[in-house]
Amino acid sequence: MKNKSFFLGIGILIINGCSSIDKKNNTRILQENKIENYASEVWKSDQGDGTFINPILHADYSDPDVIRVGDDYYMTASSFNCAPGLPILHSKDLVNWTIINYAINKVVPEKVFDVPQHSKGVWAPVIRYHNNEFYIYWGDPDFGVYMVKTKNIAGVWEAPVLVMEGKGIIDPCPLWDGEKTYLIHGWAGSRAGINSLLTINQMNSEGTKVIDEGKHVFDGHEKHHTLEGPKLYKKDGYYYVFAPAGGVATGWQLVLRSKNIYGPYEEKVVLEQGSTKINGPHQGAWVTTPNGDSWFFHFQDKEVYGRVLFLEPMRWEKDWPVMGKDLDGNGIGEPLLHLKKPVVGKQYPIQTPQENDDFNDGKYGIQWQWYGNPSIKWSAQIPGTDYLRLFCMSKKELPNLWDAPYLLLQKLPAENFTTTTKVKLNIEWETNGKTAGLLMMGQSYAYTGISFEDGHFWIKQVTCMDAINGKPEKVIEKKKLQKNEVFLRMQVKAPDASCYFSYSEDGIHFQTIGESFKAQKDLWISAKMGIFSVSEANVRMGSYADFDWFKVSK
């Protein structure tokens, strides 16, 4: 049996504060999805003294959107080609978050995303609550605007609906305004041939289809290049558009306002890097607490670590939002690092998105995503087992793992951390060319893994530089093992996510192997860590790897 002493006790998150939510059904679903009261060893925003530090999530939840329903907060974010997609996170205090669901099991169109479509898929979603239903809209730059909805946010979501077909239509946001329903969106220049424009269409009352050709309402070319990601709100007679500009890594947060939804719009820059080290603080969501306080979510691009999430105080002055603190005196807010927590009327336990996994009942936790749409052929999740079985999937014609959809990955949780797993490689028919391992994935990647070659089990450390361009893997070091079971470890260190690999045959004494590797980001997403089981092409099918557990520690 495995040693589970390092795992936290299971605590069930019950969503409340909204009468339309089926609490009993939600609890069952959360239990089935292994939702833990989990607190990371490597990054906690909540300081336990009534304050928090930014980022609230040191993980790649890019283009976040957040809403409040009653006393509960819900977040979603871009998921691109990873599946399941559209993560749903829950919080009671805006600081402590846990993953509770995904809105789509597979990215659509499904056949397209059965193989990794790097940088494509789910871009900049928005989550809204209207008429007792949750809605998520997102733009796919190659196909158009999609929508999914549900009455039970922790349950099953309806199938995606294509609301607006077309290339380059991105970053949508709906607004139900009396008897009319609107959709604002931006444009991806790579597909549409235009960008830095914001456009508003009318939709039918159900929010399932646009019903006009739309009107441009703001042009950012002169002062706000790469204007995108609009969020449309209405407050005190004004229509507000919160929109980032200037690009992911170096941009700023713009707010527009008008008494008429089609403009003309006044403009004001409300958040920028300024004198801080927080580059490109923009693109996110305005949310209020039950007592009326305002807060603003945004991201910071940290390259290999992805776009990490910040929470800024916000207030209103003369019908304009004021964010963060104006540290350099130019009238524009700047991000803050250490603040008092939002006042929500109660203290809640420290929680973070899940990382560790004991693979009980053969299931993997909700923190994991595949590199492409999942297939039932990749794993055997059998009740009563205490490991996750991954089958050795054939690489076929692939030169490396860059386009392999069967990689099981999760986000990097901090700048510095160590991850360890235990794996047993089971060989059928004495077939060579089988490998299972612990992986740091990106445009270049590296792993340490156990393989079966020449009738023996080996531990090896492998790198693949420039995998994105089809370059082959290189074995850096290889040693013979005494058995088919091994502990694999990867230590990650700031500032550039340098990875150091080691292994152990007894779980106590670890030996270094290979050389250090600087992790690289994927296209539009961070590097990701995870596990895999693979077979070389042109060898007999069969063989599988049983992963006993996966742990993230300091």
Q: Are strands 215-219 and 197-203 parallel, antiparallel or unpaired?
A: antiparallel
Three-state helix/strand/coil letters over 221-277: CCCCCCCCCCEEEEECCEEEEEEEECCCCCCEEEEEEECCCCCCCEEEEEECCCCCC
Decide if 136 contacts 125 (C-beta within 8 A).
yes
Cα-Cα-Cα-Cα torsion 166, 169, 170, 175, nearest 10 degrees, comes to: -100
Instruction: Give the whole-angstrom CA distance, residue 165 versus residue 142.
Output: 9
Q: Which of 212, 140, 198 minimizes the C-alpha distance to 169?
A: 140
Sign of CA dihedral 249, 252, 257, 263: negative
Q: Residues 36, 46, 63, 301: which is the catalytic one?
A: 63
Q: Residues 36, 46, 228, 312: which is the catalytic one?
A: 228
Instruction: Give the whole-angstrom CA distance, residue 415 versus residue 497.
Output: 7
Q: What is the DSSP letter of 10?
A: P
Roughly how many angstroms between the first and final C-alpha of the chain, as a whole number? 24
Three-state helix/strand/coil letters over 338-364: EEECCCCCCCCCCCCCCCCECCHHHCC
User: Is residue 228 flagged as an active site residue?
Assistant: yes
Sign of CA dihedral 177, 182, 234, 96: positive
3-state SS assignment for residue 329: coil
Quickly list H helices, 423-529: none
Q: Residue written as tokens 């028919």? A: 429
Neighbour tally for 416: CB within 10 Å: 14
Q: What is the DSSP letter of 396?
A: T
3-state SS assignment for residue 172: strand
Decide if 370 contacts 503 (C-beta within 8 A).
no
Token pair in block for residue 244: 């980032």
Q: What is the DSSP letter of 57?
A: B
Instruction: Give the whole-angstrom CA distance, residue 190 versus residue 94.
Output: 35
| 109 cis-preceded (ω within 30 degrees of 0) | yes
Q: Which residues are catalytic?
A: 63, 228
